[in-house]
Structure 1
Amino acid sequence: VEYMLVSFDHENKKVQLVLNGEDVLETLQEKGERTNPNHPTLWRPEYGSYMIEGTPGQPYGGTMSEFNTVEDNMRKRREEATSVLEENQALCTITSFPRLGCPGFTLPVYKPNPVEGGASKSLFFPDEAINKHPRFSTLTRNIRHRRGEKVVINVPIFKDKNTPAPFIETFEDDEAARAAKPDHIYMDAMGFGMGNCCLQVTFQACSISEASYLYDQLATICPIVMALSAASPFYRGYVSDIDCRWGVISASVDDRTREERGLEPLKSSSYRISKSRYDSIDSYLSKCGEKYNDIDLTIDRGIYEQLVQNGIDHLLAQHVAHLFIRDPLTLFQEKIDLDDANESDHFENIQSTNWQTMRFKPPPPNSDIGWRVEFRPMEVQLTDFENSAYVVFVVLLTRVILSYKLDFLIPLSKVDENMKVAQKRDAVLQGMFYFRKDICKGGSAVVDGCGKARGGSEPALEEYTLMSIDTIINGKEGVFPGLIPILNSYLENMEVDVDTRCSIMNYLKLIKKRASGELMTVARWMREFIANHPDYKQDSVITDEMNYSLILKCNQIANELCECPELLGSGSAFRRVRYSGSKTDSSS
């Protein structure tokens, strides 16, 4: 879970991002893992100097009762980090800070430095908001240098009643004037993407083949869960027409040259590269996924042949050879000469800067950690309850995929199309997504509505169709059984204690109701909050005071100091023990 540190100025009705993440991190690590190696939380740095990341100290186990510990673990993380904050500061799980890049958005206040010498040269985002660890500023500088210009992010503006038509911002900076599009919110720095927060889950598989299978199956689920978790409708003080951060973060680290982007003939560059290094996956890894690999894959041919000659499976070899068309973005001098038989830093240097919807993680050398798969598209939610619900939903889905041998595979080009739809405003209700109709390859009798899978070597058009998220999640008679009914069927066949079953049912109820529209996504709730704010002029502008009201409300909801039935439902089904986990005056 990634967190933002904010400070409330109740008198002036302003909220700012606090640039003391490094100090908070140092305190938490000193009190935690350095004192006790078995501490329940590991705290790690993140891109923004106003951000920290918390992960469980140990992996969760494989029993059903473990599902009942996730929320408690997240609560303890929040309480632990909140306990070291100063008065009027809070730890927020918000995906994007609405006024990121607006004048005075940081505490202390710094001005951006767009002239030579700065890491990002941004017109909006000061370098002081980047984590002080050299990795982060080096990444920022090198992406810009490699690209040959600043990164360009253009997000469509939400056209409200009084939004200027066309909406055009004027910039004295020539590069910005060329890059900014009409009717779009323009941003120019890595911080606008990597300075957002997300929720990620890593699973350990029992073998390389199981990990490949899970990687492929979950890749098709990524856009669905991303739309379900949509939580980022605001950028640089404006209301946008998207609900998810994915395209923003993808553009924020796009280091491709003009040649690689196909804008100029290839001369200095080796390849045309169709995507940013932060994007959806480009190839399935399992044998059953091979026939659905319909995206042209750019690979480093020499690396591919070296891997195949050394006995690496063709699909995994092309996956790695595709990752390695990218250059290293940072390299520390002490890491140049390493024993690759005992250290994986050279591989991880490339692997960890290919940020995709799924990540396939080989075991580290000399470790008892196995093959892992990371699920990366989710937006972070306001509360520990919601974040736990999404984690439990995805983990349960992995159990069901493996137990029932489910098959969600569709052509990868259709998954890419789903990724584009998933980011749009209200995609959870309005979007239609390609999804496989018959997910039971083996004709499992356990799941109602599943039939035998078709044979044949080519994916047939009738294998998949366009469905709403409500149909995919909750099912529709004669069309699709629904993921939640399948999970319920699985749970009925498992021995689960009453407490755990009750918790899981509450989590699944949240997912079910978000999919049907009975409960709002965080993005929809935030939009309605701003639209109904007395200061909002229906012009797509979010003022300091509106931002203060929104983040204060988010903080109260996160710390269970107020109800929010539109987001969480009402009554005991969605409530757990109340606690006060904030250092800010909630009565304001």
Structure 2
Amino acid sequence: MGLLSQGSPLSWEETKRHADHVRRHGILQFLHIYHAVKERHKDVLKWGDEVEYMLVSFDHQNKKARVVLNGEEILEALQEKGERKNPNHPTLWRPEYGSYMIEGTPGQPYGGTMSEFNTVEDNMRKRRQEASSLLKENEALCTITSFPRLGCPGFTVPDYKPTPVEGGASKSLFFPDEAINKHPRFSTLTRNIRHRRGEKVVINVPIFKDKNTPFPFIETFPQDDEATQAAQPNHIYMDAMGFGMGNCCLQVTFQACSISEARYLYDQLATICPIVMALSASSPFYRGYVSDIDCRWGVISASVDDRTREERGLEPLKNNSYRISKSRYDSIDSYLSKCGEKYNDIDLTKDKEIYERLLKEGIDHLLAQHIAHLFIRDPLTLFEEKIHLDDANESDHFENIQSTNWQTMRFKPPPPNSDIGWRVEFRPMEVQLTDFENSAYVVFVVLLTRVILSYKLDFLIPLSKVDENMKVAQKRDAVLHGLFYFRKDICKGGTAVVDGCSTAQNGTETDTEEFTLMSIDTIINGKEGAFPGLIPILNSYLENMEVDVDTRCSILNYLKLIKKRASGELMTAARWMREFVSKHPDYKQDSVITDEINYSLLWECNKIANELSECPELLGSGFKKAKYSGNKTGSSS
């Protein structure tokens, strides 16, 4: 969740008064870091994953599943038993936005050897077992992206009511403030986004039109004019940061060997983000309804959109400096490497004063504009004790802006005075039900970075096309039906590293267009005469590497899952969930997720996660390791 400072949080008006101070000193802090480590080379590959979990309670008698608001206590117990006693403990635990959420990571980063891939799933299993051991009877640790009835009456344990009129952080009609983590950062972010924007956030998700879904589907909120005006026909309306940041995801961070390698990886992976997001789609339900989207990205983007009406282009600029085309949670707006420069076709809004300052300090145009673009944003949280800092040795002001630009990729300079190198973070993946699936997606992405660097692959296309891909990726069944812009020749200048890798002849393109529309099946698995496919390229790479038998077997199993998800032979979690709901006896083909449907779905998800139930439509067969049971949820009556 980014920077977690401690102290006394300031109101939005107080934070606003210090915004220029934070930006000015944030840039000074970045410059200190940059000049200290810009020449740093030969950092070894290190990487790690982050898995976000929800705490869910099952009421078997009344057939209800609800989120449990005790994440802080669970987190405290996990840290006390783990890292505080042993700095080398194999797992680390961190808070997340929801008080029903926690985040787990490996205790130490993974290294560059191939055998590391064979430890990822075991570490994820340790995390699940460790946290599950602290749960009460009939509670479970779930890796689900979105809780289907989030925001519905009685969705929390204990049961709290929202407070839309009384003073509070979100003033939501649906989401109580008690469901927000008690760390002051989270409620302050929620309140300050709303205050800065000048109104509550507005999230409208298209509803899935089933046989008995009212058409037009219109919600009315007689006690709330703001909601009535904001809610769109045939859409599910939500009004709080919790509907986005209260979802779970799966992320991977890589340490590169140098700043130039980090920038190259940042660009190449940016084009992969929509592809992997569609492949990992697992969030089709919102506020108790079946939606017509499969991914959370647009929901979370709208949930933290702090832009004023002026910045959104709805009113003339008067009190604000810029028109800003996107929320601060969205896809990237510029490539960072020299090879990406010609594909930067998005109009980039930047702070010109900061941009000029960075150029004078010897920072190149591409990196300068990236930082100057991030710094058009205001700080959203500021602590009284953290206003005046030592810019040469601290980076809180830089991170204040950096960590609240939540983009598909994040370029991460080293912390001051640390042995950590230049890093990039891959952020678009939805979390999966099982440790096996989460490991598969992580290994696929990490292995892809190795292949990109080894073969000097080039996935770059105009950034505007990546944005279009992001929109397609969120649609229902995008894996099966979506077409995505993708580069035809990914082996720069026709260097064929695997059969069919280049569509070029004698070093020249056979077509004037560098990219074309492809299905995810073609991108991942290849199509003869058209595109080699990422999985065949990864397999070619593996054949040339010395890998022990167990590790090779694990990697091939992971790639097999990705391959079959891309071809449609196996369902995405989103598709499987839709089919489960459609066949449920309580479902009336009206797009409504009742308490009983929600209970049945999450109970089945929990059984699959703990390998107590087979799910060949989702997982196929022959993938899994030996069974274990990490839950304490008893049995369904």
TM-score (norm 2): 0.91
Deviations 1:132-187 (A, max 9, x none): 11100000000000000000000000000000010001111100000000000000
1:89-128 matches, cutoff 5 A = 89-128=139-178
- Residue 196 (structure 1) aligns with: 247
Distance 1:431 1:191 in 2: 29
Match in the other structure for 1:510: 561
* Equivalent residue in structure 1 for 2:601, among 545, 550, 574: 550
Q: Does 1:311 align with 2:365?
A: no
Does 1:327 pair with 2:369? no
Residue in structure 2 matched with residue 79 of structure 1 by the alignment: 129
CA deviation string 1:453-502 (max 9, x = no partner): 6999x9x9610000000000000011100000000000000000000000
Contact 1:260 1:269 in 2 (8 A): yes
Cα deviation, 1:9-56, whole Å, max 9, x if unaligned, reads 011100110000000000000000001111111100000000000011
- In the TM superposition, residue 313 of structure 1 has moved relative to its aligned partner by 1.4
Q: Distance in 2 between matches of 1:398 and 1:251?
A: 30
Cα pair 2:494 2:506 within 8 Å, conserved: no
**Between 509-518 and 437-446, the greater mean CA deviation after superposition:** 437-446
SS in 2 for 1:462: coil
Instruction: Give the superposition deviation at 1:443.
Output: 3.0
Partners of 1:556 and 1:586 within 8 A in 2: no
RMSD of aligned alpha carbons:
1.4
- Alpha-carbon distance between aligned partners in 2 of 1:483 and 1:118, rounded to the nearest angstrom: 48
1:12 alignment partner, SS class: coil
Matching residue of 2:500: 449
| 1:20 and 2:75 aligned | no
Residue 426 in 1 paired to residue 504 in 2?
no
Summarize the Cα distance change of 1:503–1:261 in structure 2 as closer, same or farther, 3 Å threshold.
Answer: same
Determine if contact 2:487/2:514 at 8 Å carries over to the other structure: yes
Q: How far apart are the structure 2 equivalents of 1:510 and 1:62?
A: 23
Does the 8 Å CA contact 1:191/1:252 hold for their aligned counterparts? yes
Displacement, 1:64? 0.3
Deviation at 1:577, TM superposition (A): 1.1
Shift of 1:442: 4.5
The residue aligned with 1:181 is 232
| Counterpart pick for 1:540 among 586, 591, 600 | 591
CA contact (8 A) 2:98 2:180 kept: yes
Runs of 4+ with deviation above 2 angstroms: 442-446, 450-456
- Give yes or no for contact 2:503–2:530 (8 Å, CA) kept in 1: no
For the residue of structure 2 that corresponds to 1:574, the secondary structure is coil
For 1:146, the equivalent position in structure 2 comes to 196
Instruction: Quote the Cα distance in structure 1 between the aligned partners of 2:569 and 2:170.
Output: 42
The corresponding residue for 2:181 is 131
Contact 1:19-1:106 at 8 Å conserved across structures: yes
Q: Is this contact kept in 1: 2:250–2:429, CA < 8 A?
A: yes
Q: 1:273 and 2:324 equivalent?
A: yes
1:298-377 matches, within 5 Å, as 298-377=349-428
| Contact 1:439–1:453 (CA under 8 A) maintained in structure 2 | no
Cα distance, 1:536–1:208 mapped onto 2, change above 3 Å: same
8 A contact 1:441–1:452 mirrored in 2: no
Q: What's the CA shift for 1:448?
A: 1.4
CA offsets 1:81-103 (integer angstroms, 9 cap, x no match):
00011111000000000000000
Q: Does 1:157 align with 2:173?
A: no
Report how far residue 449 of structure 1 moved: 1.0
Q: Which residue of structure 1 aligns with residue 114 of structure 2?
A: 64
Deviation track 1:515-540 (CA, whole Å, cap 9, x = no partner) reads: 00000000000000000000100000
Preserved CA contact (<8 Å) 1:112 1:126: yes
* Distance in 1, Cα, partners of 2:342 & 2:496: 26
Go from structure 1 to structure 2 and tell me whether the alpha carbon gap of 1:98 and 1:42 turns closer, same or farther (over 3 Å shift): same
In 2, Cα distance between the equivalents of 1:526 and 1:30?
A: 36
1:255 to 299, 306, 317: 306
Q: Secondary structure at the match of 1:434?
A: strand
The residue that corresponds to 2:611 in the other structure is: 560
Q: Distance in 2 between matches of 1:383 and 1:405?
A: 33
587 and 9 in structure 1: CA distance in 2 versus 1, 3 angstrom threshold: closer
- Quick one: distance in 2 between partners of 1:136 and 1:345? 16
The alignment-based identity, stated in percent, is 89
CA distance in 2, matches of 1:71, 1:468: 29
1:49 corresponds to: 99
How much has 1:115 moved relative to structure 2?
1.1
Please say if 1:579 is aligned against 2:628.
yes
Q: Is the 8 A contact 2:89 2:107 kept in 1?
A: yes
Offset, 1:445 = 3.2
State the 1:335 CA deviation. Answer: 1.1
- Does 2:285 correspond to 1:225? no
- For residues 116 and 30 of structure 1, the distance between their equivalents in structure 2, rounded to whole angstroms, comes to 36
Q: 1:285 aligns with which of 336, 343, 352?
A: 336
TM-score relative to the length of structure 1? 0.98
* Partner secondary structure for residue 513 of structure 2: helix
Q: Is the 8 A contact 1:96 1:234 kept in 2?
A: yes
> 1:450: how far off?
2.5
Q: Deviations over 1:413-439 (max 9, x none)?
A: 000000000000000000000000000
Superposed CA offset, 1:250-294 (max 9, x none): 000000000000000000000000000000000000000000000
- The amino acid across from 1:83 in the alignment is S
Kindly provide the amino acid, as one letter, of the partner of residue 453 in structure 2. Answer: L
How far apart are the structure 2 equivalents of 1:313 and 1:580?
53
Mapped pair 1:520 → 2:571? yes
| Larger RCO of the pair (alpha carbons < 8 Å, separation 6+) | 2
Query: CA–CA distance in 2 between the matches of 1:116 and 1:408?
Result: 51
Identify which of 247, 260, 263 aligns with 1:209: 260
1:569 aligns with 2:615: no
Between the aligned partners of 2:302 and 2:502, the Cα distance in structure 1 is 41
1:37 maps to which residue? 87
Pair 461,223 (structure 1): closer, same or farther in 2 beyond 3 Å? farther
Could you tell me how far apart the structure 2 residues matched to 1:228 and 1:484 are?
13
Structure 2 unaligned regions, length at least 5: 1-50
How big is the shift at 1:586?
Answer: 3.5
Count the aligned residue pairs.
585
Between the aligned partners of 1:86 and 1:574, the Cα distance in structure 2 is 30
Equivalent-residue separation in structure 2 for 1:303 and 1:453 (angstroms) = 42
Amino acid at match of 2:173: L
2:436 paired residue number: 385
Residues 455-466 of structure 1: matches in 2 within 5 Å? 462-466=513-517
1:585 positional shift = 1.3
